[in-house]
Amino acid sequence: MEDTLELVSPDIARAQVNELLGEGRKSLAKRDHQHATNLIAKAASLLVGKGSVIPQDPRSGGIVSTRYQQMDEEQLFLLLSCCYDVSYSLWQTSNGAEALKWLEEMEAIYRNVHIRQKPARFDWDFVTVNNPDASELRVKGLRLQSDIFLALLNTGMALQRIFVADQFRQHAGLNSYNIRNVAGPGPLSAMSQWRHPDPKLTKDHQLQYPDLQIRGSWLKLPLKKSSAVGGRQGFAHFVWKGRFYVLAGSRAAAGPWMHDFFYMTLARPQDGWTELPYYPMANTEYMATISQRQMCVDETAGKAYFFTSQKQLDVFDLSANTWSRVHTRIDGSFPIDRHYGEFAMVIARNRLYVFGGDSPDQVIGSNVFMMCDLETKRWTHYGGDAFRLKPDANWPGPRKWPSLWVDKDEERVYLIFGDGDRFGATQQGQKGAADLSHLYDDCWSWDITGEKWRRERIPGNAPCPRSEAGLTYNRKLDKVVAYGGYNASLPYDSPMGQRFFFSYFADTFIYDPHPADGSSPAWKQVITRGFPTYRAQCAVFSDSESGKIYMFGGYTNSQFVPDKKNFISRSFGDLWQLRLDIPGGDFEGVDVEEEARTAKQGPWQRCYACGSTGPWKKCGGSCNGRVFFCDTDCQKDGWKEHKQTHGCTARKK
């Protein structure tokens, strides 16, 4: 079946739609899935009317649909029925990519129902179609999405869809036995057993859905240890001429904080870090105020800009290795205060763009969007508020720790995800409070010329909602890569019986905005045999000269990832390279089968003999711990093969 269907009727012929839907369901019952898909897809086309296509292409202009917003309750229910039945039929033939497109269309329909509400609602406000059957359909659609994502090993999205389905079910008052079996406490608990990714699922997985998955490999690089740099979180970073720069940050959430500045040469990480002039602290400043801020580089000018939420920019000259301060102007009052942090920042067309962030007066986050022209040193406040909450269907909602990137032609600034910290607002007694934080499941793009936001679709096998993620746009590959992050609401049930009401991630995703074969753009999950430890606030970055992709630093919770040395959290100072099985992805020489037996699975190791995952002991031979064994029996079973394959010999006692 093609991605979209040409529409054939100018009218909403409900009788004809019902007839096609009925015939299609008869074909479904006979397991004639191709015929069923064609009939029901045609019914959906009749419903949306001439001049539209369904499912819509992500390149067609965003998620907002005037047609959907004009539909009455009966039309919406019929269209949702068509979308669900087509997706179910496609999934029965293992056509996951097409099934997800129709299920994504169901969510787009619900999003438009949300958008048409008067007065405007926040993203976290539940809105239902005034039809219990339509609400039940959404729950079933979310559950089907969850099943597909689990088959794709995207455990984060599989859990998130069940989680949202259960929340929506409760809000809609759907409490029958059957619907609770679709999305209730039982299914949610079953899905909460998985980590993201889960080592039990990755070992033997073979790529079955090339439209939604690609192969990759994480390689830990030999970085010379430095007590000065060490593990850190909340740091600023950038890349310039093959060098990776790190500024400030902290060892843990409560400090100690730094204002130091270092760089390493990415081609020679074993040479270690080179110290640069520290960030100049004024007497009235505290080191905590420069943590969790951002730094961007103008590669052509050789200058890096550090923004500390004040009406000034700190500039580091990368040729002279000197700091300076530039004072800026703005018409009216500055829209944020000096305590504002956890925002996202990018440079495009010699302009510095800043979105989101929070302050002690509004911990839920903000939707302030502002730009500083680096030539005129003048700020423009496009909109959003850092001190009060106001819903707007045409503007991204308030959040902290979102991610930004700029497209290759510097025409649009893209915004994705972030945390509306409603639980934090509860603790502070502020507006927007709730028992659970809201992790945004959205993507927006800002038209730099037209100066207008557009809400985009998130097609394919995408990362689940998160904040504090590592994300980079690789200009040489023309790809977006995301890794890790944190979700303050998704539960995890550990094997020890402990329930965490949050999740850390170590999954990796790639987005291709311009596929070479002309197909529709889509997210894909990068399936790796091994991966770095689950973490948030890491730096994922691209070297524009080599096109290579790296990851550095971050932190994790010491109970979520057990750590005997650190009671609350552990920060990292490790460096990894991501190799991708795409042209220019540096995948040559990767031995996938070898990695399946020897690569680290987050904080654990794979037993070389039996393949189990755990805190196993490394081989004590001349291989210097290249492989691990879970016990002496497996060591005996695997020793001969290990010796022949890796040339390992026993050390003399």
| Mean pLDDT across 20-49 | 95
What percentage of the chain reaches a pLDDT higher than 90?
Answer: 75
CA 175 to chain CA centroid, Å, is 32
Token duo for residue 20: 């096609």
Q: Return the ∠ at Cα 198 (arms to 269 and 467), rounded to 5°.
A: 65
Query: Is the separation of the CB atoms in 480 and 18 below 8 Å?
Result: no
pLDDT band at 614 (very low <50, low <70, confident <90, very high): confident
Higher-pLDDT residue of 395 and 626 is: 395
Does residue 549 sit in the same domain as residue 625? no
Does residue 143 sit in the same domain as residue 219? no
Residue 206 lies in a domain: no
The pLDDT tens digits for 320-376 are: 999 999 999 999 999 999 889 999 999 999 999 999 999 999 999 999 999 999 999
Q: What is the mean pLDDT of the chain?
A: 92
| Mean pLDDT across 210-225 | 92
Question: Residue 430 burial by CB count (10 A; 0-12/13-18/19+): exposed, middle or buried?
Answer: middle
Does residue 158 sit in the same domain as residue 253? no
Backbone φ and ψ of 65, nearest 5°: -135, 115
Residue 544 lies in a domain: yes
Q: What does the DSSP assignment read for 144-158? A: HHHHHHHHTT-HHHH
What's the CATH number where 435 sits?
2.120.10.80
Q: How far apart are the first and last CA of the chain?
A: 66
pLDDT band at 564 (very low <50, low <70, confident <90, very high): low
Residue 351 lies in a domain: yes
User: What does the alpha-carbon distance between residue 508 and residue 572 come to, in Å, rounded to a whole number?
Assistant: 18
**pLDDT at residue 6 in the model:** 40
Q: Which residues of 182-216 are buried (b: 16+ CB within 10 A; e: fewer)?
A: bbbeebbeebbebbbbbbeebbeeeeebebbbbbb
Q: Return the ∠ at Cα 154 (arms to 151 and 155), rounded to 5°.
A: 95
The pLDDT tens digits for 361-392 are: 999 999 999 999 999 999 999 999 999 999 99
Token duo for residue 367: 């939707």
- Answer whether residue 620 shows pLDDT above 80: yes
Residue 633 lies in a domain: yes
pLDDT band at 253 (very low <50, low <70, confident <90, very high): confident
Q: In what order do the strands lie in the sheet with 443-447?
A: 403-406, 412-416, 443-447, 452-456
User: What does the alpha-carbon distance between residue 347 and residue 342 come to, in Å, rounded to a whole number?
Assistant: 17
The pLDDT tens digits for 87-110 are: 999 999 999 999 999 999 999 999
| Among candidate residues 156, 179, 200, the one where a domain is terminated | 200
Residue 554 lies in a domain: yes
Residue 355 lies in a domain: yes
**pLDDT at residue 8 in the model:** 40
pLDDT band at 9 (very low <50, low <70, confident <90, very high): very low
Closest CA to 316 of 300, 333, 334, 296: 296
Closest CA to 526 of 572, 485, 484, 486: 484
Does residue 113 sit in the same domain as residue 162? yes
pLDDT band at 11 (very low <50, low <70, confident <90, very high): low
Token duo for residue 134: 């339509």
Q: Residues with Cβ < 8 Å from 410, sequence gap 6 or more?
A: 348, 349, 448
Token duo for residue 539: 């730096």
Backbone φ and ψ of 381, nearest 5°: -95, 105
User: What does the alpha-carbon distance between residue 102 and residue 92 come to, in Å, rounded to a whole number?
Assistant: 14
Does residue 516 sit in the same domain as residue 627? no
Residue 134 lies in a domain: yes
Token duo for residue 640: 């001969």
Does residue 255 sit in the same domain as residue 181? no
| Among candidate residues 176, 200, 224, the one where a domain is terminated | 200
Closest CA to 522 of 215, 216, 214, 211: 211
Q: CA-CA distances (angstroms) from residue 198 to 51, 80, 305?
A: 44, 33, 39
Q: Residues with Cβ < 8 Å from 417, sequence gap 6 or more?
A: 402, 403, 439, 440, 441, 442, 443, 463, 465, 466, 467, 469, 485
The pLDDT tens digits for 517-551 are: 899 999 999 999 889 999 999 999 999 989 999 99
Count of Cβ atoms closer than 10 Å to residue 282 Cβ? 7
| Among candidate residues 200, 235, 252, the one where a domain is terminated | 200
Query: Is the separation of the CB atoms in 614 and 600 below 8 Å?
Result: no
Does residue 139 sit in the same domain as residue 262? no
Cis peptide preceding 495, ω within 30 of 0: no
Does residue 85 sit in the same domain as residue 172? yes
Cis peptide preceding 396, ω within 30 of 0: no
Q: Residues with Cβ < 8 Å from 247, sequence gap 6 or more?
A: 235, 236, 237, 259, 260, 261, 279, 290, 295, 306
Element (DSSP H or E) covering residue 83: helix 73-92
Closest CA to 195 of 541, 604, 608, 482: 604
Domain that holds residue 194: 14-200
Among 45-59, 148-162, 445-459, the minimum mean pLDDT is found in 45-59
Q: Amino acid identity of 135?
A: S
- Answer whether residue 205 shows pLDDT above 90: no
Does residue 222 sit in the same domain as residue 90? no
Number of domains in the chain: 3
**pLDDT at residue 603 in the model:** 85
Does residue 472 sit in the same domain as residue 547? yes
Does residue 484 sit in the same domain as residue 631? no
Cα Rg, the chain, nearest whole Å? 25
pLDDT band at 4 (very low <50, low <70, confident <90, very high): very low
Residue 113 lies in a domain: yes
The pLDDT tens digits for 482-524 are: 999 999 999 999 888 889 999 999 999 999 999 998 999 999 9
Token duo for residue 334: 């500055």
Does residue 449 sit in the same domain as residue 327? yes
**pLDDT at residue 2 in the model:** 36
Q: What pTM was computed for the model?
A: 0.94
Q: Amino acid identity of 86?
A: V
- Can you state the angle between helices 73-92 and 132-151, rounded to 10 degrees? 30
The pLDDT tens digits for 263-287 are: 999 999 999 999 999 998 765 456 6
- Answer whether residue 627 shows pLDDT above 90: no
